Structure 1
Amino acid sequence: MKIEFKEEQKFTQWWLWLILIGIGLLPIYGIYKQLILGEQFGDNPMSDLGLIIFTVFVFGLIAMFWYMRMITEIDQNEIRMSFFPFVKKRVKWKEIKNAEVVNYGFVGGWGIRLCTKYGTLYNTKGNKGLAIELLNGKKFLIGTQKETELSEIIKKAIR
């Protein structure tokens, strides 16, 4: 099938990466101070093994944000959404009761949000997305940065 719409989004907010890099510097400094200089890192230092495990965890978290991406694809048969590494959705047009591009406002952050008025919300930034209501009553929303293009594709598909 010919893909009529494709969008790939990542977490590109400068302030998010500033926070993540700041958090990443903490265990590096701890390892330098405790393992290389042989001094205590803080008043109640964790063990050397604990510090190494914490460092691996922090850099695993940073790597997860680096590789995390949301891909939306629409063709004549279905809407596909992948929020790697967490969720994959595939919805056929015949299962959809309603689909429209909406401004969902601020929902307390980005990522995966449960229990909004639009059901489960998947987004990386912004406040616009494709609200989908299925024939079985379930709802979800896929965030977008290409609201005009997406809106035109949806209007065409619903006709």
Structure 2
Amino acid sequence: MEFKEVQKFNQWWLWLLLAIIGLLPIAGIYIQLIKGEEFGSKPMSDTGLIIFSIFIFLLIGLFLVLRLKTNIDRAGIKMQYVPFVKKNVSWNDVESVEVLDYGFVGGWGIRLWTVYGTVYNVKGSKGVAIKLTNGKKFLIGTQKATELEEVLRKIRQN
């Protein structure tokens, strides 16, 4: 009895947006640094353009490596939002767990201070809400709600 899921940002519209954003520094570098013309009516300095370009490419790189990994078994709940957060929770520390449709919590990624505590999601609106015995709460998004419910039901039976 084990639930495993790895999610990543693979929405087509997001990658289209990131591709368009990624074209800006490429155009700027080509026009301003290679051709020697000004890029736009109020161009950045060459140094500013290079720093801006590095920032944009790091942002795109971040989306390439972001992963939400969930592993639930008889030992407990393991969640990792690569490269930011890693949680390992034993069932002894869990007061309640519920698969639910949490709706919209202000976007995707890591959302703080919601009614569910911290929400870790990549897309969609289904997840497992976890309340710990110390009162803390968090929610992990899932694209496999039915499979997750079945695994949790089997774990509770044993």
Normalising by the residue count of structure 2, what TM-score does the alignment of the two structures yield? 0.96
Per the alignment, in what secondary structure is the counterpart of residue 140 of structure 1? strand
Q: Superposed, which structure 2 residues align to 1:7-156 within 5 Å?
A: 7-156=5-154
Instruction: Give 1:62's aligned amino acid.
Output: I
Q: Distance in 2 between matches of 1:126 and 1:44?
A: 40
Structure 1 residue 25 displacement after superposition: 0.3
Per the alignment, in what secondary structure is the counterpart of residue 133 of structure 1? strand
Q: Deviations over 1:7-36 (max 9, x none)?
A: 000001111111111110001001111011
Structure 1 residue 50 displacement after superposition: 1.4
Instruction: Give 2:51's aligned amino acid.
Output: I
Identity %: 63
Unmatched runs of 5 consecutive residues or more in structure 2: none
Structure 1 residue 53 displacement after superposition: 1.4
Q: Deviations over 1:93-133 (max 9, x none)?
A: 01000001000011121000111111100000000000000
Moved over 6 A (4+): none
Structure 1 residue 43 displacement after superposition: 2.0
Match of 1:4 in 2: 2
Q: How many equivalent residue pairs?
A: 157
Instruction: Give 2:68's aligned amino acid.
Output: M
Normalising by the residue count of structure 1, what TM-score does the alignment of the two structures yield? 0.96
Per the alignment, in what secondary structure is the counterpart of residue 43 of structure 1? coil
